[in-house]
Chains A and B, each alone.
Chain A
Amino acid sequence: MRIVVVEDDYHQRDWLAGELSKAFSADVEPLNSFGAFHRRFKEFEQNPPDYFVVDVMLVSDQLSEENDDSNAYDDDEEQVDDVEDLRQGLIAVKMIGDSASLRRVPATLYTVLTRQDLPDGIVFMPKQEDISALAAEIRRRLGISK
């Protein structure tokens, strides 16, 4: 069984990967940013995993000195009032649902955000102190008995 975990926080990613691996004896592939998910997407389409677990608040990419182009950006004074949408996990899940080869792969949004923080109709699972609820959800959607 192969599970992909997209989570930018190291500690959460590390913990989740360990727990899922133990619970399902699965190969867990952790990805640390939306950019990493995006780069792997074509491969996922060709070789779909069994499950996706995706955080909602994701950085675009981890910093890297080799790829840094931050000095090309100019700062202006209008930014104070802008409110950017950082919920890139929603985009990732939509990409999965829109893909012909991946739409049947179950995906769970796993987040500390509440219902009020998310658009109407979004199905998600709140992060808890253990993965029992997440594990039960995975079993249910994959039709696996405990």
Chain B
Amino acid sequence: MMQPHDTTANYIEKLIEFAAGLSNLADLRKILDRAAEIASPTDACIIWDEVPRAADVSLCTAHLYALAQWCRDDEHWLTMEVPVGNSLTGEAIMGNSPWLSTPDLHLDGRTYKKDPWLSRFGPGLSIPVRLESRSNGEVVEHRGAVNFYRFKGQQPFSPVEADVLAHIGRLIPHLYRSLRDRVAFDLLMCLDRRLDEASRAEPLLHEAKLIADKLRCEEVSIFLGRPGDETFHLRATTIPDKSDLFGKVGYKLTDPGIVPWLLNGREASIRLLDVRKLTKSSSDFSQYYAAHVAHRYPHLRWSEWKGAAEKPISCMAALITDGRHTLGVIQCSRAAAEPYYFGGRELEMLELAADRIGRHEGESQRDRDMQQEVGSWNALSRILVELSNMVTQESADAIVAESLFLNENRESVSRRTLEIFVGSVPGAERATAYWRDPAASNSGSLANLWLKALAPGVKSAVVKSSESPEPQVDALVAEISCGAPLGVLVIHLNSNADVPPHSQTLAEILGRQLGLYHHLYRQQDKLRKQLLREVRTFADLRHQIKSPILMAYRYLCAMYNSFSDAESRRKLGAIRGLTSKSLGVAGCVGLYADLAEGKPIAPHLAPMSADSILTTVVESAIDHEMICRDDTDILFSVDHGSFKALNRIYVRINRELFMQCMTNLLDNAAKYSFPKTTVRIRATLADGFVVVSVTNRGVSLSLKGAGMCWNRGWRGQYVREKMKSSGHGIGLWLVHEIMKAHDGRAKAIPTQDKETEFQLYFPKMDISRG
């Protein structure tokens, strides 16, 4: 009963203070309880809301449902939709009065009498109110009413009571909105914190439980897929037994149901108050209800709930998006408490939660995609680095030839290159390269069968075992090409492995690498053959040059002594020296050609005495002195005594090659000696070797140079940078090769006191063995 000293303002203040302490949407019931106390005795208070989209239909079929209720006897009751058309409440909503009352609901013709629950009540008061909700970010206003009831036999509501309760009634939607905002804020804060620290072991389950708690429902189920997917799977649900789900564990876009209806872009969210009436076994309201639902949600094909239940089965669902793509649906069903309906505010909360989950899930998917993408490119980088290391650290020729070695089935059987691929492509078990045989018609070959798995113009594909030429093989197939197609690379996959994105691109790049290696190998082969042809040409030229020069040299040697005229002898000597030099160069050309062709020097060795060696040495010394005499005045002195001291010692030697060695050593001595110095040639015996040495005074040879000078192409830094004298570093290299062929060796002693010595070691013959 209203207290005489309390004013309306006091009631409002107390109610506001009370409502500020509430934290749950279902606490709306407590607000109704407190409101009912103001006009005690009041035995029930109900807040009615318009059924969704009621404004779309004609006024006579608009309906209201109980958003929340309080009843004194706390008797369990069922809510239902009441038509706006023929009820006290409806008239209050449509009228202009701040309230409408009746002394006895049972006797009032405006009362909807089909609800047996209302028969307990006598006096009734209905206050029209404006309710507000948000959907898809837009504020939606809808009509409602706050009704107060007294049991039969009680006094009707007086005008004074009605006025006060009218104020209270119009306040209730505002209090509810504040409550909703607090609950929404709390829900979002908890969701944000939860999603940030979410354990990925049970992704989204805790979030679903949080939403279920805030929205007071039994089931929250989250369905997710990837953009472009046709099937969306259940990722988390608060229902322990999946057979008790409101629906299925996964939906295709073509399935009937709320989830596919949303996924097909019909709406962003949907709310059905009581789906029991949609079942085939329902009461005679089913057709009527279904028609309304069908009118509100066109193209919705229903299939979810087949069971029976006493309480209303309310259901709502909202799309989960990342702002650009649809990622899934979040669905709630079976409100856990009175009034067992999901109101507009609950749907609002669900939409907010779906938005949060969508943004987080979108970010997570992008992170996963990025990781997989980075993983793929890292794999590619690893492969290319390993291939590059393999080629640079080992003989390129051997690597490429081995990698592309083909067996009789035209398969690459070498594993080194292909193993690198297998190690880097996730899910790969082994790899094989099949090559086309351009010369043969092999339409039935395995290579061609695999190539057929690629559509025309497609460079790579994932081939499942049902389409594979080899039984029960899942594979990545990529064309091997370098311009033109050469074959096919088949990477056999583990059938349980997911093929990460970019694996096909990876396989295509690998196929092109193999094609490139094949191309390089062929080019290398061509160059090798071309070089061989040129080397053989040099060998032939050597033969053509050598004979005439040799003859010219022989004639000059014979003529030299027959001239007494000093000038003539001088010129003839110069000619002899130059001819001898030409003979030496021709010899070098020939040996160079033989070695370049891969032919080792295999001389015919014959026993030669120290005396014979001396003769050869003296000839060479004279020739070189004749070249130098008028220019640098370098003398070439042979220590005859040192050779004669080796009396009765023989070596096995090829005279022509020994002559070549001496020519090369004395050429160097002439080039690198200071003017007016003497090059000394002598022989010694050391450790079973006959050692012929050439010593000159001139350009320094370092310790490093003494080791490297026998390498092909090596020239000292001073000679290259300061002197810039002609030559390509092959003279001493040939000496080294000739001495190897004699089972001997060549040695350089680094310069000391401006003198450098080169030594030739010939194994001494054991005369006792002949």
A68 near B754 with CB under 8 A, answer yes
- Beta-carbon contacts under 8 Å, B715-737 to A: 715-718, 720-726, 729
> DSSP majority for the B interface?
loop
Chain B residue contacts of A64, Cβ below 8 A: 674-675
CA distance A115 to B708 in the complex (A): 34
A86 touches B672 (CB 8 A): no
Query: What chain B residues lie within 8 Å of A58 (beta carbons)?
Result: 724
Partner of B700, one of A10, A61, A70, A77: A70
Interface presence of A98 (CB below 8 A): no
The interface residues of chain A lying within 8 Å CB-to-CB of B708 are 75, 77
Contact of A86 among B574, B700, B705, B726 (CB under 8 A): B726
Q: Are B754 and A86 in contact (CB under 8 A)?
A: no
Is B699 in contact with A74, judged by CB distance below 8 angstroms?
no
In the bound assembly, the distance between CA atoms of A140 and B383 in angstroms comes to 67
A129 interface residue, CB < 8 Å from B? Answer: no
Most chain B CB within a 10 A radius of its CB, from A59, A70, A74, A76: A70
A59 touches B716 (CB 8 A): no
Do A79 and B631 touch (CB < 8 A)?
no
- List B contacts of A70 (CB < 8 A): 699-700, 716, 718, 722
Question: CA of A71 to CA of B705 in the docked complex: distance in angstroms?
Answer: 11
Shortest C-beta distance, A20 to chain B (Å), equals 18
Of chain A, the residue at the smallest CB distance from B629 is: A10
Contacts A62-B675, A63-B672, A63-B674 given; indicate if A71 touches B700 (C-beta within 8 A).
yes
Contact status B711-A80, CB under 8 Å: yes
Is B693 interfacial (CB 8 A cutoff)?
no
Cβ of A88 within 8 Å of any chain B Cβ, yes or no, is: yes
Q: Cβ of B56 < 8 Å from any Cβ of A?
A: no
B200 interface residue per 8 A CB criterion: no
Q: Which residues of A contact B717 (CB under 8 A)?
A: 73-76, 79
Given A75-B708, A80-B711, A80-B729, A65 contacting B724 (CB threshold 8 A):
no
- Beta-carbon contact of B716 and A75 below 8 Å: yes
Asked whether any CB of chain A lies closer than 8 Å to the CB of B599, the reply is: no
Contact B704 A75 (CB under 8 A): yes
Indicate which residue in A10, A57, A71 contacts B631 across the interface (CB closer than 8 Å): A10
**Once bound together, how far apart are the Cα atoms of A11 and B751, in whole Å?**
30
Residues in chain B near residue A75, CB distance under 8 A: 702, 704-705, 708, 716-717
**Residue interface mask A41-71, B partner, CB < 8 A = 1:** 0000000000000000111111111001111
CA distance A64 to B676 in the complex (A): 10
**Set of chain B residues within 8 Å of A11, measured between Cβ atoms:** 574, 578, 630-631
CB distance from A135 to the nearest CB of B (A): 22
> Quick check: is B663 within 8 A (CB to CB) of the other chain?
no
Contact B631 A59 (CB under 8 A): no
Q: Which residues of B contact A69 (CB under 8 A)?
A: 722
Distance A88 CA – B721 CA, assembled complex (angstroms): 12
Contacts of B718 in A (CB 8 A): 70, 73
- Residues of chain A within 8 A (CB-CB) of B725 are 59-60, 86
B residues 512-571 near A (Cβ < 8 Å) are none
Task: Sort chain B's interface into a size bin.
Answer: 35 or more
CB of B69 within 8 A of chain A? no
Return the contact of A68 from the options B578, B699, B713, B720 (Cβ within 8 A). Answer: B699
Contact of A74 among B702, B713, B724, B754 (CB under 8 A): B702
Q: Do A10 and B630 touch (CB < 8 A)?
A: yes
CA distance in complex: A77, B712 (Å): 12
Interface size classification for chain A? 20 to 34
Give B134 Cβ to nearest chain A Cβ, in Å.
Answer: 76
Assess whether A71 is in contact with B673, with CB atoms less than 8 Å apart: no
B698 interface residue (CB < 8 Å to A): yes
B720 touches A60 (CB 8 A): no
- B577's nearest neighbour on chain A, judged by CB, is A11
In the complex the two chains form, what is the Cα distance from A71 to B700 in whole Å?
Answer: 5
Residues from chain A with a CB closer than 8 A to the CB of B720 are 79, 82, 84
A76 partner residues in chain B, CB cutoff 8 A = 704, 717
Does B377 make an interface contact (CB < 8 A)?
no
Main secondary structure of the interface of A (DSSP, over half): loop
A141 to B729, CA, bound (A): 40
- Would you call B700 and A80 a contact (CB within 8 A)? no
Q: Are B711 and A14 in contact (CB under 8 A)?
A: no
Map CB proximity to A onto B459-472 as digits: 1 under 8 Å, 0 otherwise.
Answer: 00000000000000
Chain B 74-98 interface mask (CB, 8 Å, partner A; 1/0): 0000000000000000000000000
Considering only CB atoms, which chain A residue lies closest to B727 in the complex? A86
Known: A71-B700, A79-B715, A81-B713. A61 touches B723 (CB 8 A): yes
Distance in angstroms from B756 CB to nearest chain A CB is: 10
Q: Most chain-A CB neighbours within 10 Å: which of B675, B704, B718?
A: B718
CA distance A71 to B722 in the complex (A): 12
Residue of A nearest to B703 (CB): A75
Chain B, Cβ-Cβ closest to A59: B725
Residue B714 lies at the interface, judged by CB distance under 8 Å to chain A: yes
CB neighbours (8 Å) of A80 from chain B are 711-714, 729
A27-50 CB mask vs B (1 if < 8 Å, else 0) is: 000000010000000000000000
Point out the residues of chain A lying under 8 angstroms from B724, CB to CB: 34, 58-60, 84, 86, 88
Contact between B715 and A63, CB atoms less than 8 A apart? no
CB contacts (< 8 Å) of A84 on chain B: these are 720-721, 724
Q: Which of A57, A70, A75, A86 lies at the interface centre, i.e. has the most chain B CB atoms within 10 A of its CB?
A: A75
> Do B699 and A63 touch across chains, with their CB atoms under 8 A apart?
yes
User: Cβ of A82: which chain B residues have Cβ within 8 Å of it?
Assistant: 720
Given the known inter-chain contacts A10-B630, A76-B717, A80-B713, please indicate yes or no for A63 contacting B698, CB distance below 8 A.
Answer: yes
CA–CA, A101 to B578, complex, Å? 39
Q: A63-B673, A74-B702 are in contact. Are A79 and B714 (CB under 8 A)?
A: yes
Task: Report how far A69 CA is from B677 CA in the complex, Å.
Answer: 17
Please report the C-alpha to C-alpha distance between residue A137 and residue B578 in the assembled complex, in whole angstroms: 28
Distance of A5 Cα from B721 Cα, bound (Å): 24
What is the minimal beta-carbon distance from B769 to any residue of chain A, in angstroms? 41
- Bound CA span A62–B700, Å: 15
A62 to B674, CA, bound (A): 9
In the complex formed, the residue of A with least CB distance to B715 is A79
A125 to B630, CA, bound (A): 27
Measured CA separation A76–B703 after assembly (Å) = 11
A74 contacts B704, C-beta separation under 8 Å? yes
* Cβ-closest chain A residue relative to B709: A75
Chain B residues with CB below 8 A from A61, complex form: 722-723
CB distance from B719 to the nearest CB of A (A): 8
| Cα distance, A71 to B702, chains bound together (Å) | 7
Bound-state Cα–Cα, A63 to B714, Å: 20
Check A73–B674 contact: CB distance below 8 A: no
Tell whether A63 pairs with B754 under 8 Å between CB atoms, given A74-B702, A79-B717.
no
- Residues of chain A contacted by B698 (CB below 8 angstroms): 63, 68
Q: List 24 A-B contacts (CB under 8 A).
A: A11-B578, A59-B723, A60-B722, A60-B725, A63-B632, A63-B673, A63-B674, A65-B674, A65-B675, A68-B674, A68-B699, A70-B699, A70-B716, A70-B722, A71-B702, A73-B718, A73-B721, A73-B722, A74-B717, A75-B705, A75-B716, A75-B717, A84-B721, A84-B724
* CB-CB nearest 8 A-B residue pairs: A10-B631, A71-B700, A73-B718, A65-B674, A70-B700, A80-B713, A75-B705, A70-B718
Given contacts A65-B697, A70-B722, A80-B714, 14 further A-B contacts (CB under 8 A): A59-B724, A60-B722, A60-B723, A60-B724, A63-B672, A68-B674, A74-B704, A75-B704, A75-B717, A77-B708, A79-B713, A80-B712, A82-B720, A84-B724
Write the residues of chain B forming the contact surface with A, with a CB cutoff of 8 angstroms: 574, 578, 630-632, 672-675, 677, 697-700, 702, 704-705, 708, 711-718, 720-726, 729, 751, 754
